[in-house]
Structure 1
Amino acid sequence: MLTDIFADRYLGIQMWEAFTDVEERFLVQGFRIVSEQLFPYYRDGKENPASKASWTSIHDKLSMELGLDELSPKRYHFNTIYNGKPVTQSGAWSMEKVCKDFVNSKFDGTVSADRFIKERLSFIELAFRERENQLNEINSNLPKQLLDAQIQDKRVKPGGIRIPGNRADGLKAFNETINASFQASVEELNERLRRANFNLNYHNGFIQISDDELLEEQIERAFWDITKDPLWENVDIDMKEAVDLRDSNGRDPAFYAARALESAIKIISDQKGWTHGGEKGAQNYIENLGSKKNGAFISDWERDALKAFFAAVRNPFGHGAGSEEMPKLSQQQTDWAIETCMSWVKTLVKRM
């Protein structure tokens, strides 16, 4: 199974020329966040089976993409003397140590500093993605668990022992705690990325380039927070593709940003019950949002601005150019298109 990793997405972009104390310090910090906050390997002095499974999953995914049998040696052996005779001691390292020996290994120059750092950032990215996927599953199962808890509470027989409070409240409190804990880890990771001057940001399972701190604070962070919800999954996927294509100088990143915005507009129309089935494209869905009978979700000038954006930016890239010159945006225009789409999604969703 293929896994999307940071090192492959940014293969063609040199981001580091040297491995310095800054990079070494960050990798130690990043690994400690994973090992101490996301997946503590031991519980009460014993190996935690759930954490071991997570560490193994991360190791196997990354080693496969890097073309390695193992990130670092899984087993050890050494010669010693026992009762005056030479013997060989052997055993298996914990999966946490195998990963630590990879992430925090000394840079020896056998590969470029750029590749060395990217491969280890890929480990941190996959670890955060693993935990985020786990939380998404936990969150999706919560409504059923709450319903089951309510049913169980009602089944307590008269005169039976009843624990103070109720199961549903306990489940909600636990869910809020684990989600808040993960969000705090994300914020710490992003702050450490910022302090290391990496111009990178983690969001929704991916580490991506973020050059403008003010833009990140006011637009990007709010956008990625919105698209954590499964409802906006297609918006999230297309916008990540747009950002990756922009950062790797790929083709038509603005097209994918516009697709993300179009998906958001369609979702809002569907959620509000305004979709009538006769729509043939983005323009018709925009009309649904601007219709006065639907309460004018957007004003006339906003409707016209959205239509103009799709006509000028999305449509030329959505059709073959024929004998005409292939459309292309400058770097500045591409940045503007992506930022514009993020801003539109943010403001439209906030109105729901």
Structure 2
Amino acid sequence: MKTVTDSPDVHIKERLSLIELGFRQKENEIATLNASEISESEQLLASLSPSSLRLPDDPQEGARKRREINTAAFRASVDELNARFRQAGYPLNYHNGFIQISTDDLVQKEVETPFWMLVSDPVWKNVDLDMKEALDRRDSDGRDPEFYAARALESTIKIISDQKGWTHGGEKGAHSYIENLASKKNGFILSWESTLLKEFFTHVRNPIGHGAGNLQMQTLSRQQTEWAIEFSMSWIKNLIRRL
């Protein structure tokens, strides 16, 4: 048996890193498989599966059902891992390949968990990456995590505008894309929602995204940063669910 020579902190972090890598590898394998065409070997495996799995008789449908079962089993494993973190009193949560800090159980349940499930679709890969960057910077007291959270929200708005065919090419920033969603013709969001989103970009994102000049550079408190991240997550989740 290997002797623990490092500090308990390093020892635990190494084990958590190993768990993170294992889950990430399995998640990537499942995502790659689900994105590919169903192979003949998968159809053969489905046809040879025990009747207890209740797979469809059609090999193609059987293979697709088998993928769904494997995906659901992995998600159940993720849920169990996160439940064990909570039971142990560790403020940690695994999502989309990373273990990151989570400090609020209610926000975790109602906002973060559904958020990460929604942005796991490849369409939202930039949203996923920017939000992970926001959390990493928040957890390490890095610079401007709220900027990356806002960028994830802006990407979401742009993607929806593009998908709906509302992007006209003359947009000059987040406000223009918000107007695409809020126009009377499109009606994807209401006027008051448009105002709320624009105010967020005006007062939270823009002062960081542009040079401060001779003015004092804006900095948010820890609580304000967490609010900005939760605001962005909540809006992203809500907007995607409207599609």
**TM-score by structure 2 length?**
0.91
The structure 1 residue matched to 2:108, chosen from 193, 205, 216, is: 216
Q: Deviations over 1:157-193 (max 9, x none)?
A: xxxxxxx922211111111111011011101111111
| 1:298 and 2:193 correspond | no
Equivalent-residue separation in structure 2 for 1:204 and 1:193 (angstroms): 16
More helix by share: 2
* 1: CA distance, partners of 2:240 / 2:39: 27
Matched position secondary structure for 2:215? coil
Distance 1:234 1:225 in 2: 14
**Aligned-partner Cα distance in 1 for 2:3–2:113:** 34
Match of 2:53 in 1: none
1:115 aligns with 2:10: yes
- The code of the aligned residue for 1:292 comes to K
CA RMSD of aligned residues (A): 1.8
Measured at CA, do residues 231 and 119 of structure 1 come closer, stay the same or move farther in structure 2, by a change above 3 Å? Answer: same
Q: Give structure 1 regions of 4+ aligned residues with deviation exceeding 3 angstroms.
A: none
Partner of 1:134: 29
Using the TM superposition, give the Cα deviation of residue 113 of structure 1 relative to its aligned residue in structure 2, in angstroms: 1.4
C-alpha distance in 2 between matches for 1:262 and 1:170 = 39
Native 8 Å contact 2:100 2:136 kept in 1: yes
Q: CA deviation at 1:146?
A: 7.8
* Pair 1:145-2:38 in alignment: yes
1:236 aligns with 2:128: yes
The aligned amino acid for 2:233 is M
Per-residue deviation, 1:145: 2.3
Pick aligned residue for 2:198 from 266, 291, 307: 307
Matched, 1:174 2:66: yes
Deviations 1:176-226 (A, max 9, x none): 111011011101111111111111000000000001011100000011011
> For residues 143-292 of structure 1, what are the structure 2 equivalents within 5 Å?
144-145=37-38, 165-292=57-184
- In 2: Cα distance, 1:114 partner to 1:324 partner: 42
Which secondary structure state, in structure 2, belongs to the residue aligned with residue 207 of structure 1? strand
| Residue aligned with 1:201, SS | strand
- In structure 1, the partner of 2:212 is 321
Unaligned residue ranges in structure 1 (runs of 5+): 1-100, 151-163
Judge conservation of contact 2:38–2:64 (CA < 8 Å) in 1: no
Using the alignment, how far apart are the partners of 2:105 and 2:3 within structure 1?
Answer: 31
CA distance in structure 2 between the partners assigned to 1:221 and 1:188 by the alignment: 13
* Percent of aligned pairs sharing the same letter: 59
Bigger Rg, structure 1 or 2: 1
Q: Does structure 1 conserve the Cα–Cα contact (< 8 Å) formed by 2:146 and 2:205?
A: yes
Per-residue displacement from partner, 1:130-164 (whole Å, max 9, x unpaired)? 000001100110xx3289x99xxxxxxxxxxxxx9
3-state DSSP of counterpart to 1:145? coil
Q: Distance in 2 between matches of 1:297 and 1:227?
A: 19
Structure 2 residue aligned with 1:330: 221
Q: Distance in 2 between the 1:145 and 1:128 partners?
A: 23
Offset at residue 106 of structure 1 (A): 4.9
Q: Give the match's secondary structure for 1:292.
A: coil
Distance in 2, Cα, partners of 1:322 & 1:300: 33
> Structure 2 counterpart of 1:112, which letter?
S
| Structure 2 unaligned spans of 5+ | 44-55
